[in-house]
């Protein structure tokens, strides 16, 4: 009970820092989701007719996911310096696989007869893609985006180690000052805020899903 | 006949990596307003042939003509918009409403909204679906039969001259299939579309086709002719085998009760006296009469024997008539009714149920012996 009270007072006294942390963290999530989403969906579309290209793209993106996150955040420092850039690159590479895999699964999973009918009625390839394939694959793609979003919220906490800011700052500070006063509180504050941010983002994606997926395939 | 609406000329399709062509040097004409059925065993290339017409499969060689114009090299999407396309799995867009599905081609052609909305309602009514209750539903809410109705409506949306149908009723239960076939035949009477229809079911081919092309491997035409002619004069053993036994019986579906001469069996109208009845029966060659009620509806078969055997009142003697035929029924229906009937005949009535006459096994047999080809060629 005492700990909750001290955690609460710790957080109440760090309003500004919390705000900064949340904003920095959110910037990572949004910018990475947008860029990785665009990249992965495009890659999925471009490779959809070529099994070899598809497999290659999946293999490469899954390699990124096996790299230790600490390493991935640091190896780009010589190229781009400290701060936002190396963190962004690491998070971008991490979030490719779930979206790419789901884009490919979503496009592959469309009932062949629907595509046959679409072409048979005289839709040009681009119209088939935009009016039939992407809308039908979208629920699966969006599920991939959600997985990536959760992944980014968690891993973005490491950005602090390359001076990238975010909610990881609380955790790192706490860790550095352990077992001094407020150190544990700081770690918990960072963790809870990450969970909270994840929930909010998940909710936002749920709303996006409601708004963008046709009632016919919900 | 006039110039063909669709012409395939020496069309060959060979898939890369295979030696034997899927379609080998096929030349085939489809005339305006006819239903040409492509039928053959699975793997004979009938679906491939259909898909060559709208170039969903591009021919390896040969030319395709539409309205006499070479369309082998024009933009394939443009070509397809001029042809309705219906497939067995229907392929409705699940993320779009029924109305949006039907509007697909009009939208591609850039019709304005009001015109599209009117056309959608018109088409839903055409396929016997209430526009108000179905317009805004999604495909997942439809039964298989309803989905295919929408499929047909969608294919007809921009009023194409040509309809290509690939086993459209193949995945539907037999009862619904029969109903859809009949509805479709009725529609076609008004629409007079040029239709190429693929099926593996010879009975469906006989029922739907003005002409039938029986295909063997690599889409080689074994015989192409009217169903009547093919049934009465199969070109070779392959066709004979494909028609199967009972080609004559299959032919019965082609003819209607009104095509045969009705047997004049005397009718007795209630109320009738026994003596009067006996007199009529004596003159009847079959020694049988049909007892009618006041509204001329047939009630019972009356024979001399049955009248003499009992002292029952006349309306209780003889055998009851439980099933009757209408002139629109096929001879196959008639045969069924006759075989069930106690006297080997079937009663024919008009729409209101009034007695018209009887048809007998003999009249059927004489039609069969006379040959379908001679009587039925279009």
Cβ atoms of B114 and B174 closer than 8 Å:
no
B27: confidence class by pLDDT, cuts 50, 70, 90: very high
A214 to chain B, any CB pair closer than 8 A? The answer is: yes
A215 to chain B, any CB pair closer than 8 A? The answer is: yes
CB contact under 8 A, B97 and A216: yes
Per-residue model confidence as pLDDT tens digits over A22-39? 999 999 999 999 999 999
CB contact under 8 A, B139 and A123: no
pLDDT value of position B378: 35
Per-residue model confidence as pLDDT tens digits over A77-116? 999 999 999 999 999 999 999 999 999 999 999 999 999 9
Determine the Cα angle at B28 with ends B108 and B373, to 5°.
Answer: 120
A53: confidence class by pLDDT, cuts 50, 70, 90: very high
**Of A135-149, A156-170, B43-57, B345-359, the least confident:** B345-359
CB contact under 8 A, B80 and A136: no
Whether residue B248 has pLDDT greater than 80: no
**A127 vs B contacts (CB less than 8 Å):** 108
- Of residues B96, B108, B138, nearest to A122 (C-beta): B108
pLDDT value of position B1: 54
Per-residue model confidence as pLDDT tens digits over B103-150? 999 999 999 999 999 999 999 999 999 999 999 999 999 999 999 999
Minimal C-alpha gap between B146 and chain A (Å): 16
CB contact under 8 A, B80 and A116: no
Q: Bridge partners of B298?
A: B292
pLDDT value of position B374: 43
B33: confidence class by pLDDT, cuts 50, 70, 90: very high
**Of A42-46, B175-179, B190-194, B244-248, the least confident:** B244-248
Among all residues of chain A, which has the CA nearest to that of B52? A120
Per-residue model confidence as pLDDT tens digits over B266-315? 888 877 777 788 888 888 777 788 888 888 888 888 887 777 776 777 77
CB contact under 8 A, A111 and B97: no
CB contact under 8 A, A136 and B94: yes
CB contact under 8 A, B140 and A216: yes
- Closest by Cα among A132, A130, A107 to A40: A107
Which residue of B74, B93, B100, B107 is the best one to mutate when testing the A interface, meaning the one whose CB has the most A CBs within 10 A?
B93
Minimal C-alpha gap between A133 and chain B (Å): 10
pLDDT value of position B371: 55
**A115 vs B contacts (CB less than 8 Å):** 91
Q: Name the architecture of domain B258-369.
A: Roll (3.10)
pLDDT value of position B376: 39
A16 to chain B, any CB pair closer than 8 A? The answer is: no
Where are chain B's structural domains?
6-254, 258-369
Per-residue model confidence as pLDDT tens digits over A164-211? 999 999 999 999 999 898 999 999 999 999 999 999 999 999 999 999
Instruction: Report the half-sphere exposure of B293 (CA within 13 A, side-chain side).
Output: 9
Whether residue B213 has pLDDT greater than 60: yes
CB contact under 8 A, A122 and B89: no
Q: Looking at the domain covering B6-254, what would its CATH class be? A: alpha beta
pLDDT value of position B370: 62
Domains defined along chain A, listed by start: 2-217 (1.10.3720.10)
**Of A58-62, A67-71, B330-334, the least confident:** B330-334
CB contact under 8 A, B108 and A118: no
pLDDT value of position B369: 65
CB contact under 8 A, A111 and B79: no
A135 to chain B, any CB pair closer than 8 A? The answer is: yes
The three-state (H, E, C) secondary structure of chain B, written as one string: CCCCCEEEEEEEECCCCCCCCCEEEEEEEECCCCEEEEECCCCCCHHHHHHHHCCCCCCCEEEEEECCEECCCCCHHHHHHCEEEEECCCCCCCCCCHHHHHCHHHHHCCCCHHHHHHHHHHHHHHCCCCHHHHCCCCHHHCCHHHHHHHHHHHHHCCCCCEEEEECCCCCCCHHHHHHHHHHHHHHHHHHCCEEEEEECCHHHHHHHCCEEEEEEHHHEEEEEECHHHHHHCCCCHHHHHHHCCCHHHHHHHHCEHHHCCCECCCEEECCCCHHHHHHHHHHCCCCEEEEECCCCCEEEEEEHHHHHHCCCCHHHCCEECCCEECCCCEHHHHHHHHHHCCCCEEEEECCCCCEEEEEEHHHHHHHHHHCHHHHHCC
Cβ atoms of A31 and A90 closer than 8 Å:
no
Residue where the block lists tokens 């009847």: B284
Minimal C-alpha gap between B55 and chain A (Å): 9
pLDDT value of position B105: 97
B80 to chain A, any CB pair closer than 8 A? The answer is: yes
For residue A148, give both structure tokens: 């990536």
pLDDT value of position B377: 37
Minimal C-alpha gap between A107 and chain B (Å): 14
For helices A183-212 and A15-46, the axis angle rounded to 10 degrees is 40
A126 to chain B, any CB pair closer than 8 A? The answer is: no
Among all residues of chain B, which has the CA nearest to that of A132? B93
């Amino acid at each position: 009970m005492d700990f909750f009270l001290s955690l609460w007072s710790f957080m109440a006294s760090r309003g500004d820092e919390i705000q900064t942390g949340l904003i920095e963290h959110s910037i990572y999530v949004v910018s990475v989701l947008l860029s990785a989403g665009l990249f992965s969906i495009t890659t999925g579309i471009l490779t959809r007719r070529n099994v070899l290209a598809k497999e290659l793209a999946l293999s490469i993106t899954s390699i990124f996911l096996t790299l230790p996150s600490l390493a991935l955040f640091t190896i780009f420092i010589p190229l781009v310096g400290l701060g936002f850039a190396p963190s962004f690159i690491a998070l971008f590479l991490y979030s490719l696989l779930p979206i790419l895999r789901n884009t490919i699964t979503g496009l592959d999973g469309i009932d062949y007869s629907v595509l046959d009918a679409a072409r048979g009625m005289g839709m040009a390839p681009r119209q088939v893609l935009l009016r039939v394939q992407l809308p039908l694959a979208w629920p699966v793609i969006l599920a991939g985006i959600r997985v990536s979003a959760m992944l980014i919220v968690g891993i973005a906490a490491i950005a602090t180690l390359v001076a990238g800011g975010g909610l990881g700052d609380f955790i790192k500070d706490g860790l550095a000052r352990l077992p001094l006063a407020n150190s544990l509180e700081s770690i918990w504050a960072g963790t809870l805020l990450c969970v909270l941010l994840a929930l909010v983002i998940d909710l936002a994606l749920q709303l996006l899903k409601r708004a963008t997926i046709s009632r016919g395939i919900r | 006949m006039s110039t063909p609406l669709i012409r395939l000329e020496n069309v060959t399709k060979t898939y890369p990596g295979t030696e034997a062509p899927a379609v080998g040097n096929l030349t085939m004409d489809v005339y305006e307003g006819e239903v040409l059925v492509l039928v053959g065993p699975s793997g004979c290339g009938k679906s491939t042939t259909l898909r060559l017409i709208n170039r969903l499969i591009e021919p390896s060689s040969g030319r395709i003509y539409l309205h006499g114009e070479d369309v082998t090299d024009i933009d394939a999407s443009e070509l397809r918009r001029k042809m309705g396309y219906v497939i067995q799995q229907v392929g409705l867009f699940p993320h779009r409403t029924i109305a949006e599905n039907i509007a697909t081609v009009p939208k591609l052609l850039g019709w304005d909204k009001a015109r599209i909305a009117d056309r959608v309602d018109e088409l839903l009514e055409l396929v016997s679906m209430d526009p108000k209750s179905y317009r805004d539903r999604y495909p997942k809410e439809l039964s298989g039969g309803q989905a295919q109705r929408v499929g047909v409506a969608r294919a007809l949306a921009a009023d194409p001259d040509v309809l290509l149908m690939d086993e459209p009723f193949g995945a539907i239960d037999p009862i619904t299939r029969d109903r859809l076939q009949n509805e479709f035949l009725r529609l076609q009477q008004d629409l007079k579309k040029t239709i190429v229809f693929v099926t593996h079911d010879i009975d469906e081919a006989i029922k739907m086709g003005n002409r039938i092309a029986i295909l063997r491997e690599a889409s080689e035409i074994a015989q192409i002719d009217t169903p009547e002619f093919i049934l009465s004069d199969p070109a070779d053993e392959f066709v004979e085998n494909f028609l199967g036994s009972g080609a004559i019986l299959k032919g019965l579906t082609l003819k209607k009760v009104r095509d045969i001469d009705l047997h004049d069996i005397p009718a007795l109208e209630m109320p009738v006296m026994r003596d009067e009845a006996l007199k009529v029966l004596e003159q009847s060659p079959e020694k049988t009469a049909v007892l009618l009620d006041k509204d001329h509806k047939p009630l019972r078969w009356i024979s001399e024997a049955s009248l003499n055997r009992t002292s029952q009142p006349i309306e209780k003697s003889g055998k009851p008539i439980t099933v009757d035929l209408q002139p629109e029924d096929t001879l196959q229906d008639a045969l069924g009714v006759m075989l069930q009937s106690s006297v080997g005949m079937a009663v024919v009535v008009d729409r209101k149920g009034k007695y018209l006459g009887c048809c007998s096994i003999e009249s059927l047999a004489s039609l069969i012996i006379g040959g379908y080809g001679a009587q039925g060629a279009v």
